[in-house]
Amino acid sequence: MKRLRLTSATSVVLIMLCVMYFITYLDRVNVSTAAAGFGKEFGLSNTQIGLVFSAFAYPYLVFQVSGGWVSDRFGAKRTLLFCGGLWAVATMLTGFATGLVSLLVARLLLGLGEGATFPAATAAMSRWVAKERRGFAQGITHAAARVGNAVAPGVIVLVMTAWGWRTSFYICGAISLVWVAVWHLTFAEHPQDHRRITEAELAILPPPKPKAAKVPWGPLLRRMAPVTIVYFCYGWTLWLFLSWIPQYFLHSQHLDLRKSAVFASAVFFAGVIGDTLGGVVTDWLYERTRNLNRARSIMVSVCMFFTLVSLVPLMFTHELYLCLLCLSAGFFFSEMTIGPMWAIPMDIAPQYSGTASGIMNTGSALAAIISPVLSGFLIDSTGNWQLPFVGSMVLMGLGVVLAFRMRPGVRFETDAAAGDVAATHQRA
């Protein structure tokens, strides 16, 4: 496939989505580093801090499916303009918190604002990204999210030491508002309506898809159920890492704030590489085999297995650099699943890609509610910082098996005129 210039319309759209993913995760995980500041100021326990970590996930979970439907119904442009303004305000309000309750309110508002972002982005990609590059697009955008994870600890520590933890939220919120303004100026809902689109770009993009008048909720929910469960297994490890890795190096390994930020960033940068490589590999497998089950399901299963294996040594060692290696390898292989996983909703249900991806992401959102709080409770109860990783290993083992039930090569078909919904085999 001919490579497109970075200044082409399709490239600009992908770059803007990458920036959005970066900002949403910067706004989402800055709290895990800032916890060293507000946790001490407000006298919070690890269980209470875990509740703050997970609070955003309640509305985030609720708005996954409805947000996906909204993006399919009203378009990715308007959806992300509204969401971007809301999460920017929520981020700034976190800096004005006066205690546990106000922190929880701000985080709930953040979840409300970010709930529809990834489904809306997937809906945009279904129009703006060629089928053969879906894995790469999902991998590179999520890699940008992991850059946000990796950058957050170091940057937030620098801001905290200079101006305090509150200022870090003011700065992140302002960055979000800038993105909203640029998105409004650069994005068009349909590629053919973009003023800078070329015929060469249109030739490689999917044909315009009809607007989905009615979502067949029951059949679509059943079809996406295995995918959602597998994504829950992945999400458990993701939110354990995003919430507690900075605190793990600070308290379990007894590093100072700056060093713990450096080590946490090293783990998250391994995820950046995993996201990018995972997208490239799944597209390469699909191009070579023309078999979506091999390119998606088998790849996810293999990566989850290696995640499990990477985390096992944590149960037997506390040596700093060996733990760093295990955590980095675990996060790397876990993130390699992202490219194939987020391509699956577009493979299975392209007409309902926003809704389907929202259904899938409820798995991760549910994990985001349970994993940080349960991990904090286990740490408070036992004083053992290794114990939460046992849950990750168990769920990764479950994901290894269940990944084969996702069947991305079986496309979800609906005949709107007849009101029928059927699944028919499709290779390619």
Amino acid in the structure at residue 408 = P
The answer to whether 190 and 10 have CB atoms below 8 angstroms apart is no
Which residue carries 């679509």 as its tokens? 220
Instruction: Please give the span between the terminal C-alpha atoms of the chain, in angstroms, as a whole number.
Output: 16
**Domains by residue range for the chain, with CATH:** 9-425 (1.20.1250.20)
DSSP per-residue letters across 299-337: HHHHHHHHHHHHHGGGGT---HHHHHHHHHHHHHHHHTT
Biggest CA–CA distance in the chain, Å, is 65
Q: Report the Cα 262 to chain-centroid distance in Å.
A: 22
Would you write out the chain's pLDDT as a tens digit for each of its 428 residues?
Answer: 445 566 788 889 999 999 999 998 888 778 877 888 888 889 988 888 888 888 888 888 888 777 777 887 888 899 999 999 999 999 999 999 999 999 999 999 998 888 888 888 888 888 888 877 878 888 888 888 888 877 877 788 888 888 988 998 999 999 999 999 999 999 998 888 888 888 888 888 877 766 655 788 899 999 999 999 999 999 999 988 988 888 888 878 888 878 888 898 899 889 889 988 998 999 999 989 989 999 999 999 999 999 999 999 999 988 999 999 999 999 999 999 998 998 899 899 888 887 898 899 899 989 988 888 888 888 888 888 888 899 999 999 999 999 999 999 888 876 443 343 344 344 43
Question: Model pTM?
Answer: 0.76
Which residue carries 């597998």 as its tokens? 230
The answer to whether 223 and 379 have CB atoms below 8 angstroms apart is no
Which residue carries 């999210």 as its tokens? 145
The answer to whether 384 and 391 have CB atoms below 8 angstroms apart is no
Helix 338-348 and helix 257-289, axial crossing angle in degrees, nearest 10? 50
DSSP 318: -
